Structure 1
Amino acid sequence: MEIELLILAQLMQGPKHGYEIKKNIVFVMNNKKIINNNSLYPKLRRFEEQGMVSKTMEEQEGRPNRHVYAITEKGRKDFYDKINCFTPEMIEVDDEWSIRLAYYNLLNEQTRTRLFEYRMQMIQDRMSRLEKLSLSVGDSKYLMYSPELYFYTQNMLEKEKELISAMEEQMKDRLSNSD
């Protein structure tokens, strides 16, 4: 689902040609492997068949014509449905979490709250598992992983927890200021 959501998110920002969609997704997700022409163009064709995207031909002087894609009202509705619909298991996946953060401004307040709750629960579960793991291996020289990895993971989880708490505070401040 993440590729479909990323493509639609790009078109929510305005009409784009295929290469521009791909380039922007790679930039936003900082991952060159997340999308390629073999995944992009079949999805755009399917979106067009489903009435979620329209396609026009743009003439270019001295170069081949290119297709420009624009999202339709049906596509907008589908985008909002997709970005606001997720499970706790989905939010455990870093790419799904990152997609929602990348388009955070397009989420409603209720969805933002649920997103934070799910991710915080995942962090708590990972921290608990990490603690149990460290207690179970003790001082054995046969550690399942290095102490450096343990401290790195613990630190990353703490930092993410702090970030989410700060974002929740910002959201609460905005809500109280808008009243």
Structure 2
Amino acid sequence: MDFELLTLGFLNSSPKTGYRMQQIAGNMMLNFSISMNQIYPTLRKFEEQGFVKKETVVQEGRPNKNVYAITETGREYFLKRITAPHEPFDYVLDFLVRVLFFRFLSREQVFKEFEEEINSLQEQIDNLETMEDTVNARADRYGEFCYRTALQMLRTLRGCYIAEQDRMKTESSEGQKK
């Protein structure tokens, strides 16, 4: 995930605190998981580069909060980043790297690993599906597109893994018949 682009994108719509950016990311249709350990170093770096400016808001009875806004230089950089030449899709998923070495596992272990990955994907699908009404109510057309694409990718991966499991079952039962 391009965390720097995500940060500038959040600030491009309006000034925000780091905490607010974390909340937005957590509520986005893709359920991005970002931590303050990612947000604040990035904001400091962008502040040093002149891409964002920080305003400290004094609050009575509570800690002061820092609100970050994108600068014109930051906006220009953001627009260059979203229109930059596209990187090839990284199709090498962590699970597929593990699958390369499943030959060292028993058939039962392989089946179990596929089952766990299928269950994990289903959990992610279920999680995204619970967000559909929120996405439809709040997201613009591009947010909806991202939501639908992520959901379809998860469903497709799950389908591929189920098909491989089915193939393994067929091979196993054919081997027992011989």
TM-score, normalised on structure 2?
0.52
Letter in 1 for 2:76: K
CA distance in 1 between partners of 2:140 and 2:5 (Å):
10
Change (3 A) 1:9 1:91: farther
Match for residue 36 of structure 2? 37
Preserved CA contact (<8 Å) 1:18 1:40 = yes
Letter in 1 for 2:170: D
Identity score, percent: 39
Match for residue 4 of structure 1? 4
Change (3 A) 1:103 1:73: farther
Match for residue 53 of structure 2? 54
Preserved CA contact (<8 Å) 1:9 1:103 = no
Letter in 2 for 1:12: N
Preserved CA contact (<8 Å) 1:52 1:71 = yes
Letter in 1 for 2:60: E
Preserved CA contact (<8 Å) 1:52 1:76 = yes
Deviations 1:11-54 (A, max 9, x none): 011001111011111111314xx211111100000000000000
Deviations 1:85-138 (A, max 9, x none): 322325888xxxxxxxx78659xxxxx9xxxxxxxxx9xxx8xx98x979x869
Secondary structure, counterpart of 1:6 in structure 2? helix
Change (3 A) 1:91 1:105: farther
Residue 139 (str. 1) matches residue 138 (str. 2): no
Letter in 2 for 1:141: S
How many residue pairs match? The answer is: 121
**Structure 1, unpaired ranges of 5+:** 94-101, 107-111, 113-121, 143-179
CA distance in 2 between partners of 1:92 and 1:73 (Å):
37
Change (3 A) 1:59 1:3: same
**Structure 2, unpaired ranges of 5+:** 94-138, 146-152, 174-178
Letter in 2 for 1:38: N
Please report the RMSD computed on the Cα atoms of aligned residues, expressed in angstroms: 4.0
Q: Give the drift of 1:83.
A: 2.2
Change (3 A) 1:92 1:84: farther
Letter in 2 for 1:58: V
Match for residue 77 of structure 2? 78
Change (3 A) 1:139 1:23: same
CA distance in 1 between partners of 2:23 and 2:5 (Å):
15
